[in-house]
Amino acid sequence: MRIGAKTKAIGTVLASGVLVLTMSTAASAATTIPAASYGYAQWNPNPSGSTPGDAMRACDNSADGYGVTAKLMNSDYVWIRTVTTAGHSANYCTPWKGGDLDEDDRFLVYTFRTKGGEEVMIDYRSVGAS
């Protein structure tokens, strides 16, 4: 059985589409935790390209004088990871801060509005490690 040029082209386009969808799904696996109009935090459970797994970052997208802080709490109610945009101008995201975590545990990521060392909690999400 001979495959024609049109059939090969259609197959290539379909395979490329599947690859793009697969890559988009992996890259968009991060959970976004809002910090109202101040910005947001992101939690990424699985490594994806240059983004590490079990990692979070904070992003400030508002030039209002406030920063965004994100904190990760374990099931023993202990803060185990913190990232903050404090001291940076708006439209800034911290580098991803990661490290291997127990996959059987659940965690909470909290977002805070921060200014002058004071923090006001905005939101939180339950997340898991992978």
pLDDT digits (tens, 9 = 90+) for 7-38: 454 544 444 443 333 333 444 489 999 999 99
Q: Which of helix, strand or coil describes residue 99? A: coil
Residues 6+ apart with CB under 8 A from 23: none
CATH T-level fold of 30-128? Immunoglobulin-like (2.60.40)
Q: Give the pLDDT band of residue 3 (cuts 50, 70, 90).
A: low
| Domain boundaries defined on the chain | 30-128
